[in-house]
Structure 1
Amino acid sequence: MKKILTAVLSVSAIAMAAPAAFAQDAAAPQAEAPAATAATAKAGDTVYDSAGEVVATIESVEGTNAVISTGANKATVPLSSFASGPKGPTIGMTKSQLEAAIAGAGASAAPAASQ
């Protein structure tokens, strides 16, 4: 489950940065959002989406991973999935997209029912 969610979040972080990369003008390059690190993403921080809406709260940081909670669900995600936004740590998913990804990862990790 963690591997699937990690892959989903990593892809979403790349997708969040991709529009800025494609929109760059050679004459006026834009700076990319720096990746969050253990120093910038800490327990208690609020996580936002690219529109600045609240997505989750970081419950703990251990090594290169953070445990985040949407209130309804929890997931362990790599710190590399976060970017530093104007309000704080940011991910490329809305709260509903994150909850759906967590639910999907949980469903695919559940053993198949025997018949």
Structure 2
Amino acid sequence: MALYTHAVGLTAAGTLSTPAAVSSSDTISAADIGSRGALLRVITAGTATNVTVADPGTTAAGNVGTPTAVAVGTTAAKMIYISPAAVNPSTGVATVTFSATTSVTAELYRL
């Protein structure tokens, strides 16, 4: 599991970001998600992937959330909203998993 360290803020003058390789399970700190959330731009180059943002919450019966995977097609890019609610209060990070990592990169933008 790797902690994203490449989050950038959005500005009126534009934002320069360098895509970073992903691993099968990555984390994003609560500080980078903030109170407004963040955008994760997933870029594929020849390999499709399913991206899942873990739901750290539980139901009243203690069952964990079942998040829906976001499909990013072959040679495509997709922006995925990371909600502050995705941060696990006990760890201080949100967990994002990828079904494939070959030729898959991501950029993280603070809102």
Pair in the same fold by TM > 0.5: no
User: TM-score, length-normalised on structure 2?
Assistant: 0.27
More strand by share: 2
